[in-house]
């Protein structure tokens, strides 16, 4: 009979793979260099716009960026200045990925039910 307790130390070995397998197929770049920062920002906006984030992230984004947009909109209306319309357009830029992500998330939710 050959029990597991009868194994000699030469028979026990562990195989270590030469290249580790990462859970993500693509390497996440470093945000300390300019190109890596651009890549990380694009990846975050793609995730946000694709609806792959949690609800609390979308809601907090709407609260933060939507409030900034509404304050700027009220400022433009009260001052009646055409120059501030550019400021309004700049503050509206973060709302586009939020809108797209919210619409995608709601469409997925409606498809499931």
pLDDT digits (tens, 9 = 90+) for 80-89: 888 888 888 8
By the 8 A CB rule, do 92 and 69 touch? yes
d(CA 110, CA 55): 15
Supply the pLDDT for residue 72: 87
Task: State pLDDT tens for residues 23-41.
Answer: 666 677 777 888 888 888 8
Nearest C-alpha neighbor of 97 from the set 57, 37, 39: 57
- pLDDT bucket at 76, cuts 50 / 70 / 90: confident
- Phi and psi of 84, rounded to 5°? -75, -10
Residue 91 CB coordination number (10 Å): 20
pTM of the model: 0.59
């Amino acid at each position: 009979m050959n029990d597991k307790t009868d194994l000699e130390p030469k028979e026990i070995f562990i195989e270590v793979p030469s290249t580790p397998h990462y859970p993500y197929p693509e390497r996440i770049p470093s945000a300390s260099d300019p190109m890596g920062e651009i890549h990380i920002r694009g990846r975050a906006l793609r995730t946000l716009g694709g609806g792959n984030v949690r609800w609390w992230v979308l809601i907090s984004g709407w609260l933060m960026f939507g409030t900034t947009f509404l304050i700027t909109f009220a400022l433009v209306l009260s001052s009646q200045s055409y120059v501030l319309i550019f400021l309004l357009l700049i503050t509206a830029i973060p709302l586009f990925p939020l809108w797209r992500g919210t619409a995608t998330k709601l469409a997925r939710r409606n498809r499931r039910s």
